[in-house]
Amino acid sequence: MAWTYLDRSQPFGFAHRGGKGPAPENTVAAFAAAVDIGYRYLETDVHRTADDVLVAFHDGGLERMAGLSGGIADHTWERLSEIKLDGEHPIPRLSELLDTFPDARFNIDPKADDAVDLLIETIADHQAIDRVCIGSFSDERIAKVREALGPRLCTSPGPKGVFKVLGAAKLGRRWDPPYGCLQIPVRAAGLPLDSAKLIRQVKALGLQVHFWTVNDADEMNRLLDRGADAIITDEIELLKDVLASRGHPV
């Protein structure tokens, strides 16, 4: 299947949580900075508030980013909207990001089971099926979103799905996986996942191969040399330079 979300024929980059820059991760300002230097693909995470608002935030708790106790799920949107990260930047809703960056494509990780129904609703309300890819450490969450939104939705497998994809790839099985891409770390459980042979085998199944989270230029180049389709990074300026040196836009 041809995935509208994955219409890039050349290697490209994802700004992981907006990337390291002038603003805290997962804020409108962080994503704006990435878009301003050319990023079209943005990665974020979502949690559900106590009163059913879907916000872009990685952690379940507020301590690391805001220095506050409690979790996203413990607070109402009214309370969370008063918080300013680094004294300036509000926590955004996913709907706000989709509206603010209409030409961007989002890789979205629903971090908790209770976020899934609201994620489905938000994607449908914004007619954003072709603008999003869903990835998670929960195969069940991914399957639920795909079942609700249909086969046009691009997804990356969770841990069980990754194992199935890698097994089929290594054995050369004929299989039409329901995923658009395989988003994986360079190593998992002590095993390397970045060999050129394995990347070729996965791509033979019709999946793009994306690696996260890569913040070193030598490693970026090595993965691209081996056939990676995309790199997910915090170091958005660095990856832009690496891709430019290879003749690719970010």
Sign, CA torsion 123/23/182/101:
positive
Secondary-structure breakdown of the chain: helix, strand, coil percentages, each rounded to the nearest 5: 40, 20, 40
Catalytic, out of 58, 75, 89, 210: 58
CA 157 to chain centre: 12
Active-site residue 58, yes or no? yes
C-alpha to C-alpha distance for 57 and 79, rounded to whole angstroms: 15
210 catalytic? Reply is no
Catalytic residue among 16, 47, 75, 210: 16
The single-letter DSSP state of residue 91 is: P
14 closest CA partner among 240, 217, 216, 186: 240
Q: 14 pairs with which residues across the strands?
A: 41, 232
Give the residue numbers marked as catalytic. Answer: 16, 58
